[in-house]
Amino acid sequence: MAGRPEILFPLFASLETLPGVGKKTAEALAAIEIERPRDLILTLPYAGVDRARKASVRDVVPPCVATVEVEVAAHFPPRTKGRPYRVAVRDEKVEFQLVFFHAKADYLQKLLPVGQRRVVSGKLELFDGIAQMVHPDHVLRPEEAGELPAYEPVYPLTAGVSQKVMAKAVAGALTRLAPLAEWIDPALKMREGWPDWDAAVAAAHAPGSAGDLAPAAPARARLAYDELMAHQLTLALARAAVRRGKGRASEGTGALQRKVLAALPYRPTGAQERALGEIAGDMASGLRMNRLLQGDVGAGKTLVACLALMIAVEAGGQGAMMAPTEILARQHLASLRPMAEAAGVVMEILTGRDKGAERAAKLAALARGDIQVLVGTHALFQKDVVFRDLRLAVVDEQHRFGVAQRMELGEKGLAADMLVMTATPIPRSLSLAQFGDMDVSVLDEKPAGRKPVTTALISAGRMDEVVAHLRRAVDEGRQAYWVCPLVGESEVSDLAAAEDRFTKLRAALGEGVVGLVHGQLPPAEKDAAMARFAAGETKVLVATTAIEVGVDVPNASIMVIERAETFGLAQLHQLRGRVGRGSLTSTCLLVYQPPLTEGGQRRLQVLRDTDDGFRIAEEDLAMRGAGDLIGTAQSGLPRFRIADLERQAGLMAVAQADARKLLADDPTLASPRGKAARVLLWLMEQDRAIRLMGVG
């Protein structure tokens, strides 16, 4: 693999090679992730100051920044300690004062000699009716004044770095720009009116007005696109690497699928049929499937997954279904097994609990092909688990199975097709950023017979009414979840709050009616508490966090969420989706602690007004921003310096299409544009892509 292209060397040198950047400044800049000239170039100004020359301060309305040429009239050193030093100056029409605090007299006399002309620029204010400029930003000789831009860019700073130092460092970095060959599709570049890369960088650092700072300004849009393109190219390379992997054509006969469907009391929705068609098409092709099945809570992903697994078995192979936790794996087994049995398909589960002889027997049956579908946790991918002929791996993506893990699965030599399911509706822009290496199927219809959940907001002051309502419901044989708030940073305080609520509810509803699950319980006890609730032995389940409630209990028809304002929108939507799964009318009570913040109120209202997960996700994105939405640190979501995921979702989609087309036309990136794209990947430090290319 060839290393970084030589044309980029100057941009990857050390910062200390730039004018005005010493060891201390370099260390300070490293704090805001600026470690090389390339990082400076991609750190764009976020604001600007109008420093256009005026004939006189009379021509502006203070307070504002003014730039004028003046003649120095007189110095007035302070009479007493702590008073300011004043310098009287005169422009074409009027006299005003420059004011300095804690300044040394000899320094100011050198800077502003009486009788000489200087150009001053700074904030002009009125003080007792007199115009004054406190600590001008710039004091220049008239012959130097040309260095001052009419519109001065303002950069993000860190402690120990001033605008002056930053501007000087950026100017130094800009001298290292070289024209790079174009990686953007020429037709797109023309249509958008985008400048060349080096011109775009220079223009973005020399805005002429506020309009040039807008994300849509051509220079900025182009640089944002470059970031998105590099990211999408990486994902497209990952996708190509997976698809290049030896695919197996798995053609279903339809025989087992028909048996599953015949045993169902309802017909699949149009969205389910469409998704299954896309999956079947991928599986029948010789390329490896890498598909995301995205569906809202209760959109019927399980049925689609089951039918896809049937295709693998019809084609003479095996299927696997992987869930993040044991409890969810058992739940998948419980919901899938009746369907598999209807088709006469052997389905087993393998988790960390299987030990000794029992485990050995399962592994032997798997290797012989006697087990046709295996459900389990990540234990499915341990060394000793060998399938006879694995055709399809379904991954329940509740644990953010990142691109890297998806690739690892492929590298295990499993030429299996891959279907990742997620119950989190993700706005399109983010789904492209996170799952751009995959093809996406969306389930956007609810199966028939699902009853909408009634959602109500209740102030915490009315807690007694909530408990009374619960008592009546339990007497009628209903079941309820009660989710406690996240109290503090520590699980201990969360636990204390949950235990307190548990004790109060037990006192109100009676012994043996209320169960408790929390993060500190050993897995076996947690499972047991869940099982008692699922079996209807306990009527109310108190839980500390959303995650514990991954269980499907059709009889549970009430969800109480305490301090609902402390949860995120997506989390509340997921929690609410735990009820309304049976034939009973369900309610979700959002108990909040007044006064609500504006954001808290908006979140709860959105939830009350809609149960469309995609709409909720878009709102969530608008309210929280992309980084927060999926926790940047663990989401595998890229951090862009220029591109803005929320506002430039359209650009992301164009970048994805463009990256995929480029690779389809030029898989080894050997054409002139392909070579330019390699330079882009090095420039944007997409190391993974560079490893994937492996085609130096």
Which residue, among 377, 381, 391, 396, has the nearest Cα to 302 in the 3D structure? 396
Rounded average pLDDT over 146-153: 84
pLDDT in tens, 48-88: 888 888 888 888 888 889 999 999 989 999 888 888 999 99
For 196-222, what is the mean pLDDT? Answer: 92
Same domain, 281 and 409: yes
How large is the average pLDDT for residues 495-524? 83
Q: Can you give the pLDDT at residue 634?
A: 35
pLDDT value for 631: 36
In this predicted structure, what is the pLDDT of residue 427? 65
In this structure, of 99-103, 106-110, 439-443, 479-483, the range with the lowest mean pLDDT score is 439-443
Residue 615's pLDDT is: 74
Exposed e or buried b per residue across 502-539, where buried means at least 16 C-beta atoms within 10 angstroms of its C-beta: beebbebbeeebbbbbbeebeeeebbebbeebbeeebb
* Domain closes at, from 422, 443, 464: 443
Which pLDDT score, from 0 to 100, does residue 471 have? Answer: 92
User: Is 681 part of a structural domain of the chain?
Assistant: no
Task: Give CA 603 to chain center in angstroms.
Answer: 19
> In this predicted structure, which of 96-100, 385-389, 415-419, 590-594 has the lowest mean pLDDT?
415-419
The pair of structure tokens assigned to 347 is 């389905």
- Min mean pLDDT across 161-170, 596-605, 619-628 is at 619-628
421 and 394 Cβ atoms separated by less than 8 Å: yes
Split at pLDDT 50, 70, 90, the class of 410 is low
Give residue 18's domain range.
6-47+169-214
Residue 547 has pLDDT above 60, yes or no: no
Instruction: Give the strand pairing for 587-592 and 556-562.
Output: parallel
Q: What is the mean pLDDT of the chain?
A: 84
Output the pLDDT for position 179: 92
- E-only strand ranges, 323-362: 347-350
Q: Which residue has the higher pLDDT, 289 or 407?
A: 289
Hey, which of 92-96, 211-215, 222-226, 529-533 has the most confident mean pLDDT? 222-226
Q: Can you read off the two tokens belonging to residue 336?
A: 């899938």
What's residue 111's pLDDT? 92
**CATH code for the domain in which residue 589 is found:** 3.40.50.300
pLDDT of 241 above 60 = yes
Confidence at residue 553, expressed as pLDDT on a 0 to 100 scale: 78
Kindly state whether residues 368 and 478 are assigned to the same domain: no
Banded model confidence at residue 258, pLDDT cuts 50, 70, 90: very high
pLDDT tens-digit readout, 110-135: 999 989 999 999 999 988 888 899 99
Domain C-terminal end among 564, 583, 610? 610
Query: At 566, is the pLDDT very low, low, confident or very high (cuts 50, 70, 90)?
Result: confident
My answer on whether 209 and 313 are in the same domain is no
| Residue 607: per-residue pLDDT | 87
If asked whether residues 414 and 331 sit together in one domain, one would say yes
Helix (H) / strand (E) element for 86: namely strand 85-90
Q: Which pLDDT belongs to residue 285?
A: 87
Q: Looking at the structure, do residues 436 and 486 belong to the same domain, yes or no?
A: no
Specify if 696 maps to a domain. Answer: no
Lowest model confidence (mean pLDDT) among 41-50, 440-449, 588-597:
440-449
Any domain includes 154:
no
Kindly give, in sequence order, each residue whose CB lies less than 8 Å from that of residue 19, ignoring residues fewer than 6 positions away.
168, 169, 171, 172
Q: In the structure, what pLDDT confidence band is assigned to residue 43 with cuts at 50, 70 and 90? A: very high
Mean pLDDT to the nearest integer, 544-568: 76
- In this predicted structure, what is the pLDDT of residue 486? 63
Q: Within 10 Å of residue 670's Cβ, how many Cβ atoms? A: 11
Establish if 624 belongs to a structural domain. Answer: no
Is 219 part of a structural domain of the chain? Answer: no
pLDDT band at 1 (very low <50, low <70, confident <90, very high): very low
pLDDT > 90 fraction of the chain, expressed in percent and rounded: 34
Domain count, the chain: 4
Q: Are residues 435 and 537 in the same domain?
A: no
For residue 28, the domain's CATH number is 1.10.150
Strand 85-90 versus strand 95-100 pairing type: antiparallel
pLDDT band, very low/low/confident/very high, at 37 (cuts 50, 70, 90) = very high
Is the pLDDT score of 26 beyond 50? yes
**Which of 149-153, 422-426, 487-491 comes out lowest in average pLDDT?**
487-491
Q: Is 5 within 8 Å of 682 (Cβ atoms)?
A: yes
| 478 lies in the same domain as 571 | yes
pLDDT at 635: 39
Where are the strands (E) in 198-303, listed by range?
290-295
> Do 411 and 432 share a domain, yes or no?
yes
Condensed to tens digits (0 to 9), the pLDDT of residues 4-18 reads: 888 999 999 999 888
Mean pLDDT over residues 363-382, rounded? 89
Phi, psi dihedrals of residue 200, rounded to the nearest 5°: -65, -40
> Are 560 and 592 members of one domain?
yes
pLDDT for the residue numbered 638: 59
Closest CA to 689 of 379, 274, 103, 234: 234
50: three-class secondary structure by DSSP: strand
Buried residues in 349-378 as b, exposed as e (16+ CB within 10 A): bbbeebeeeebeebbebbeeeebbbbbbbb
**137 shares a domain with 196:** no
Reading the block at residue 137, the tokens are: 């930003």
The answer on pLDDT for 358 being more than 70 is yes
pLDDT at 654 over 80: yes
Q: What is the pLDDT of residue 637?
A: 53
Q: Is residue 237 part of a domain?
A: no
pTM of the model as a whole = 0.62
Structure-token pair, residue 632: 């940047």
pLDDT digits (tens, 9 = 90+) for 660-687: 899 889 988 899 999 999 999 999 888 6
Is 363 in the same domain as 405?
Answer: yes
Residues 190 and 271 reside in one and the same domain: no
Task: Examine residue 371 and state whether it is found in any structural domain, yes or no.
Answer: yes
**Segment among 276-285, 504-513, 640-649 with least mean pLDDT:** 640-649
Residue 154 neighbours by CB distance under 10 Å? 15
Domain boundary among 610, 635, 658: 610
Distance CA 228, CA 233 (A): 8
Q: Confirm whether 160 is domain-assigned.
A: no
What is the separation of C-alpha 571 from the centre of its chain, rounded to a whole number of angstroms?
15
> What radius of gyration do the chain's Cα atoms show?
32
